[in-house]
Amino acid sequence: AQKITQTQPGMFVQEKEAVTLDCTYDTSDPSYGLFWYKQPSSGEMIFLIYQGSYDQQNATEGRYSLNFQKARKSANLVISASQLGDSAMYFCAMRESWMDSSYKLIFGSGTRLLVRP
């Protein structure tokens, strides 16, 4: 079974510093996708970044980058120049495929990030 592990329940970072949120995954499917979502206290899940298993380069989206190490099965999120508004829960997710081309997301347990002023 596919699985996503986030080992950091909570983290602190100083404003304007960079922070890395860890994510490891386990799958036997050669084709998979990895996502990071941000969930503020309001509850809405906000899509941040995507990495496909066949992508040669690490994905980047503004201040977000994904440190993808395929052999180690890790997909860590790096947030550069942290801002107070980055305080939220962050979820790593993997797209699981089904036999008839159906898909679902499997989520990790999340990391709560708190940015200190």
Residue ranges in contact with other proteins by CB under 8 A: 33, 35, 37, 42-47, 50, 91, 93, 95, 97-98, 100-110
Q: How far is the CB of 10 from other proteins (least distance, A)?
A: 14
Nearer to other proteins, 14 or 109 (CB): 109
Nearer to other proteins, 13 or 68 (CB): 68
Q: How far is the CB of 63 from other proteins (least distance, A)?
A: 19
DSSP per-residue letters across the chain: --EEE---SEEEEETTS-EEE--EEE---SS-EEEEEEE-TT---EEEEEEETT-SS--EETTEEEEEETTTTEEEEEE-S--GGG-EEEEEEEEEE-TTS-EEEEE---EEEEEE-
Nearer to other proteins, 13 or 27 (CB): 27
Q: How far is the CB of 73 from other proteins (least distance, A)?
A: 20
Nearer to other proteins, 6 or 87 (CB): 6
Q: Tell me the C-alpha distance between 6 and 18, whole Å.
A: 18
Q: How far is the CB of 33 from other proteins (least distance, A)?
A: 8
Q: What angle do CA 46, 77, 53 make, to 5 degrees?
A: 90
